[in-house]
A and B are shown apart, each in its own frame.
Chain A
Amino acid sequence: QVHLVESGGGLVKPGGSLRLSCSASGFTFSDYYMSWVRQAPGKGLEWVSFISSSSSYTNYADSVRGRFTISRDNAENSLSLQMDSLKAEDTAVYYCASYGPTSYFDYWGQGILVTVSS
């Protein structure tokens, strides 16, 4: 059974940094593209970033490009999102999700809340 568990969320001041992690189990992690999707309180879903199975290709939403960095460790079955220069509008629940070959999100973690506030 596929299991994705996010960690590392919390409260951070504007301009600060935070690193999210996602631990994967129940599938061959190294075979899958992975992604982060976020949802601001009371708002819709927003794709944030994805990374290819071998880390050779990454991409980011315009709203986070240059501030966020996605990475993965296939030996540890883990996905990370380094978030720098955080803004209030980055406040959201962040979901780790597997990313299918035709851009769908088939498995999701339970989500982790990031709050950017002074």
Chain B
Amino acid sequence: QSALTQPRSVSGSPGQSITISCTGNSSDVGGYNYVSWYQQRPGKAPKLMIFDVIKRPSGVPDRFSGSKSGNTASLTISGLQADDESDYYCCSYAGSYTVFGGGTQLTVL
């Protein structure tokens, strides 16, 4: 049950687009279209932003989008806003359990 690999940090300026990668293997990310993404603000519970690789829950802005290629999933945030500054975690089904990535800190410059 190894964690998925995410960059420790990414940054961008307001209005720009950023992409956060999430790399696993054929037993998790690459084997299923069951990748989800979570936003977590300091001291708060995580919030579901993307599920099933590309789907957005009701209320999540369409500036947030997900994709996957092979063993790597990605979260793209377009039109970056100051309020997007948070930690982001990817997550994938892995056959009989669920595995998270190590998290990425997004800084809006």
Do A and B bind?
Answer: yes
Is residue A61 within 8 Å, beta carbon to beta carbon, of the partner chain?
yes
Other-chain contact of B48, A47, A61, A105 (Cβ < 8 Å) = A105
B64 neighbours in A (Cβ, 8 Å) = none
**Which residues does A use to contact B, with CB under 8 Å?**
35, 37, 44-47, 50, 59, 61-63, 95, 100, 102-106, 108-111
Does the CB pair A45–B52 fall under 8 Å?
no
Is residue B15 within 8 Å, beta carbon to beta carbon, of the partner chain?
no
In the complex the two chains form, what is the Cα distance from A95 to B40 in whole Å?
13
B32 neighbours in A (Cβ, 8 Å) = 102
7 closest Cβ contacts across the A-B interface?
Answer: A103-B93, A104-B36, A104-B51, A108-B45, A44-B103, A47-B98, A45-B100
Does the CB pair B51–A95 fall under 8 Å?
no
- Can you name 11 A-B residue pairings with CB atoms under 8 Å? A44-B100, A47-B99, A59-B96, A102-B93, A103-B36, A103-B92, A103-B98, A104-B36, A104-B48, A104-B51, A108-B45
Does the CB pair A108–B1 fall under 8 Å?
no
B40 neighbours in A (Cβ, 8 Å) = 45
A46 neighbours in B (Cβ, 8 Å) = 100
Does the CB pair B97–A47 fall under 8 Å?
yes
Query: Given A105-B38, A105-B48, A106-B51: A44 and B98 within 8 A (CB)?
Result: no
In the complex the two chains form, what is the Cα distance from A104 to B97 in whole Å?
11
In the complex the two chains form, what is the Cα distance from A106 to B46 in whole Å?
9
Is residue B3 within 8 Å, beta carbon to beta carbon, of the partner chain?
yes
A103 neighbours in B (Cβ, 8 Å) = 34, 36, 91-93, 98
Given A46-B100, A62-B1, A104-B48, 5 additional A-B pairs, CB 8 A? A50-B98, A59-B96, A102-B34, A103-B92, A105-B36
Shortest distance in angstroms between A96's beta carbon and chain B's nearest beta carbon?
Answer: 10
In the complex the two chains form, what is the Cα distance from A62 to B100 in whole Å?
14
Shortest distance in angstroms between A83's beta carbon and chain B's nearest beta carbon?
Answer: 18
A95 neighbours in B (Cβ, 8 Å) = 45-46
Does the CB pair B57–A45 fall under 8 Å?
no
Closest to B44 in A: A110
Query: Given A61-B97, A103-B34, A106-B51: A44 and B46 within 8 A (CB)?
Result: no
